[in-house]
Structure 1
Amino acid sequence: MEHTIIDKFFIVVKGKWKGKGVDSTIVNVYGPHTDTNKQKLWLSLESLVGKHDTGWVLCGDFNKVHDSSERQNCDFIKRRANWFNNFINKTKLIDVPMGGKRFTRICNNGIKFSKLDRFLISEKFSDIWNELLVLALERKLSNHYPIILRDTAIDFGPIPTKVFDEWFDLEGADDLIS
């Protein structure tokens, strides 16, 4: 495993997934607050992702949202969201859906909420782990909810009951269902 600090706003870890044998790169991101530094971050990450054909995972606090639905009682600046969305589109990264909570950051005594923390993955990584979900856990020490990336492929064993389409054609099926 190779650890490399690339920039003051992110750390890169390269290696192979145990049991998968596939080259992967994880980037832990802490998004800057100023517009100039945000644009530098997007350009640096875009260049990095474009140079290497690997399974990418970018995670952390991006300090940015996609659209106004990812904020509550906070300022939303469309221009900044467009920069973030353009970065994701250019790198062809996928924002892994989140369960557990709607927002990842809370402030001002529970008045303001934002979804700043996330996992962005490449298609190559998605091909290996195709049933991923981000879970927001309980918040204890920080104003951010910790998030984890989880493979949701769970085998619960055989299905206990089966329904056949023909059953819906039987007389009285509609009454039974309603």
Structure 2
Amino acid sequence: MVVVNVYAPNIYTNRRRLWDKFLSLCNSIEGIWLIIGDFNEVRVPEDRWNSVFDNNNALHFNNFIGAAGLLEYPMLGRKYTFLSGDGKKLSKIDRALVCSDFMTKWPNTSLRALERNISDHSPLILSSGASNYGPTPFRFFNSWIEIPGMVEAVNRGLNKQGNENFKDLLLG
């Protein structure tokens, strides 16, 4: 697995060089790719609010994504991930790009943009979905011992014969 954390340059010519370098890396290193972070670029006009969309820069960025065979997870939470210093402009410049093998291996993955508290960027959380950690642990509170008949009920359950690996499943 190849994981790249991006903080792309602010100058568009340097970003274009970065896309070329990433494309070269994607073509030369085999693996499952995840490129996540601040790309300092938008893909479509809807990724900006109250700021100018540059079609040419977006075209280069989208061409890189297509040529590298990358896909983007839809973002949950916030629509925009960056707030300008004066608080007047919003952009979606932070994202997660993955190869198709990543999406196939983790189809229930989601990307969420959280609230901005410290930075002018929203933190991103890439979550691969629900995990099954086995049965929920049985909890016993000491106060239950005071319930009349509780000790006897537990002993009956523990003495039951069965094929269960977990004795608490026999306590029914």
More helix by share: 2
- Contact map agreement 2:116 2:122 (CA 8 A) in 1: yes
Give SS of 1:135's match.
strand
CA separation in 1, counterparts of 2:41 and 2:53?
A: 10
Q: Deviations over 1:126-155 (max 9, x none)?
A: 121111111011211111010110123478
CA separation in 1, counterparts of 2:84 and 2:19?
A: 26
Structure 1 stretches lacking a partner, 5+ long:
1-23, 156-178
Alignment partner, residue 80 of structure 2? 103
Alignment partner, residue 141 of structure 1? 118
- Contact map agreement 2:71 2:98 (CA 8 A) in 1: yes
- Across the aligned residues of Structure 1 and Structure 2, the Cα RMSD in angstroms comes to 1.4
Matched, 1:77 2:27: no
Alignment partner, residue 29 of structure 2? 52
Provide runs of 4+ in structure 1 moved above 6 Å: none
Matched, 1:150 2:127: yes
Alignment partner, residue 71 of structure 2? 94
Alignment partner, residue 32 of structure 1? 9
- Contact map agreement 2:78 2:115 (CA 8 A) in 1: no
Alignment partner, residue 116 of structure 1? 93
Q: Deviations over 1:38-69 (max 9, x none)?
A: 11100000000111221000000000000100
CA separation in 1, counterparts of 2:129 and 2:79?
A: 18
CA separation in 1, counterparts of 2:13 and 2:55?
A: 16
Give SS of 1:27's match.
strand
CA separation in 2, counterparts of 1:153 and 1:67?
A: 31
Which structure has the bigger radius of gyration?
Answer: 2
TM-score for the superposition, normalised by structure 2: 0.73
TM-score for the superposition, normalised by structure 1: 0.71
CA separation in 1, counterparts of 2:60 and 2:4?
A: 19
Percent identity over paired residues: 38
Q: Deviations over 1:82-101 (max 9, x none)?
A: 00000000001001110001
